[in-house]
Amino acid sequence: MDLDDRLDLLAIDQADRADCAALFARSGDDALVAEVVASITRSMGSFNEIPVGEPTQEPLVWLAAYLRLVPALVEWHREHGIAEAVTRDTLADVGRHVAISRRVTGEFGLQTWRWLGHHYSARLFALGRLQFALQRTSRSVPGMLAPGDWALEAHIPESGPLLPALVDESLNRARAFFAVHFPDRPVTVVTCNSWMLDPFLADRVAATSNVGAFIRRFTPFGESSDGHTDALYFVFRTRDLDRVPTLPRDTSLQRAVLERLDRGESWQIAWGYLRL
Ligand SMILES: CC(C)(COP(=O)(O)OP(=O)(O)OC[C@H]1O[C@@H](n2cnc3c(N)ncnc32)[C@H](O)[C@@H]1OP(=O)(O)O)[C@@H](O)C(=O)NCCC(=O)NCCS
């Protein structure tokens, strides 16, 4: 597979293509890239039972490994009968995150190098508006979910409005997709762990909004954890708390995020589940 095909499949923006090409051709850190490739390859298809090891935390080494690994991941998907469109949608997150990195830092990079390990270990799939990661859960919901059960974790990429009809379609697709492709890992529950499920937000966006409707699909459970700058990052793409006073407060989402930080409180990464 030549480089242009890889960049197309990863939906790399025009602005990032020359840098990706230079990274692909660069040989100085070959040994480290090979270690990352080996670490992801070991994890591929283990659904995180073999976690992706981190021989380095250098983002561009990870991106170089992700460029190298495209044919192997495409082949894994093909062997498991996964439709080309799903492979394409799943891998398009690479270009999305490289573009977000440029938007945030002004430079070529991949701030979220660890996140894409889910895609490359072949346990996360984009099915319409949402992405789903198949894994053994460590969480417990009485009568619904016990630690060690297979479950789907839902993720929300930055890809436009979270229309309820699109969320319905994604959940319907997930039900069929995982039953067909991974019948030996049966799932009946979708969990979500997000700042969007912090109860502080539910009271501050309209119940009829897309975000409000999404929140109400999930039943809260378990302990939340501090995610101080997460909401700031997802809504404003900055983690710089010094910028809080000057950030725009035009929408209910922006006001909610900033109000909580004005109060000196921490956003919570809260858990919710729904029955698939
Ligand atoms: C958050 C997100 C899903 C919102 O989707 P949406 O369908 O546009 O949201 P809604 O239509 O329900 O909007 C509700 C309010 O939030 C505002 N809003 C939505 N997205 C916004 C954004 N990115 N920045 C600022 N305000 C936003 C809307 O303008 C609306 O404000 P109003 O009540 O003043 O009219 C979408 O912006 C997104 O994909 N964000 C990034 C992904 C993310 O945060 N993932 C979670 C990771 S844990």
CA-nearest of 178, 179, 274 to 220 is 274
Q: Which two tokens stand for residue 237?
A: 């793409």
Q: Which residue has the tokens 């981190």?
A: 54
Query: Per-residue confidence at 27, pLDDT binned at 50, 70, 90?
Result: confident
Q: How many CA atoms lie within 13 A of 266 on its CB side?
A: 8
The CATH topology of domain 124-276 is Aminopeptidase (3.40.630)
pLDDT recorded at residue 19: 98
**Residues paired with 226 in a beta bridge:** 268
Domain range annotation of the chain: 1-122, 124-276
pLDDT recorded at residue 94: 98
98 alpha carbon to ligand 1 midpoint, in Å?
A: 21
Pocket test for ligand 1, best of 204, 211, 228, 233 (most atoms within 8 A of CB): 211
55 alpha carbon to ligand 1 midpoint, in Å?
A: 36
Note the pLDDT tens digit of each residue in 251-268. Answer: 999 999 999 999 999 999
Mean pLDDT within 18-42: 95
Angle at 66 between CA 65 and CA 72, to 5 degrees: 95
- CA torsion sign for 207, 237, 94, 184 is negative
Note the pLDDT tens digit of each residue in 78-107. Answer: 999 999 999 999 999 999 999 999 999 999
Q: Which atom belonging to ligand 1 lies closest to the Cα atom of 192? A: 48
* DSSP-based three-state secondary structure for 274: strand
User: What share of the chain in percent tops pLDDT 90?
Assistant: 96
Q: What's at 59, amino acid-wise?
A: P
Ligand 1 atom 23: residue of nearest CA = 235
Note the pLDDT tens digit of each residue in 108-135. Answer: 999 999 999 999 999 999 999 999 999 9
pLDDT recorded at residue 28: 81
90 lines ligand 1 (CB under 6 A): no
